[in-house]
Amino acid sequence: MATEVAVAQFSDRLAEAVGRKRSQLVVGLDPRLELIPVEVRGDAHLDREQAADAVERYCRGIVDAVAPSVVAVKPQLAFFEVLGADGFRAFEHVCAYARAAGLLVIADAKRGDIGSTARAYASAYFPLADAITVNPYLGRDSLDPFLQAARRDGAGVFCIVKTSNAGSADVQDAVLLDGEPLWHHVARLVCEWAEEAVGESGLSNVGAVVGATYPRAVGEARRLMPQSVLLLPGVGAQGATAADVARAFTSGPASALVSASRSVIYAYRAAGGDWRTSAGVEAARLRGEVWAAAGW
Task: Tell me which residues are annotated as active site.
Answer: 110
Strands 230-233 and 256-260: parallel
Shortest Å distance, C-beta 101 to its own copies: 21
- Residue placing its CB nearer to its own copies in the complex, 58 or 79: 79
| Phi, psi for 40 (deg, rounded to 5) | -95, -45
Shortest Å distance, C-beta 183 to its own copies: 9
The DSSP H or E segment spanning 230 is: strand 230-233
Shortest Å distance, C-beta 252 to its own copies: 28
Shortest Å distance, C-beta 262 to its own copies: 8
Q: What span, in angstroms and rounded, lies between the C-alpha atoms of 217 and 183?
A: 10
Tally the C-alpha atoms within 13 A of residue 206's C-alpha that lie toward its C-beta.
31
- Residue placing its CB nearer to its own copies in the complex, 72 or 90: 90
- Residue placing its CB nearer to its own copies in the complex, 183 or 268: 183
Q: 198: closest CA among 29, 12, 41, 69? A: 12
Residues that bind its own copies (CB under 8 A): 30, 32, 76, 78-79, 81-82, 84-89, 92, 108, 110-118, 120-121, 123-124, 135-142, 160, 163-172, 174-177, 179, 182, 185-186, 189
- Residue placing its CB nearer to its own copies in the complex, 27 or 293: 27
Q: 132: closest CA among 58, 202, 76? A: 76
Collapse the DSSP code of 10 into the 3-class scheme (helix H, G, I; strand E, B; otherwise coil) and give the result: helix
Q: What is the C-alpha radius of gyration for the chain, rounded to an integer number of angstroms?
A: 18
Find out whether 203 and 13 touch, Cβ atoms under 8 Å: no
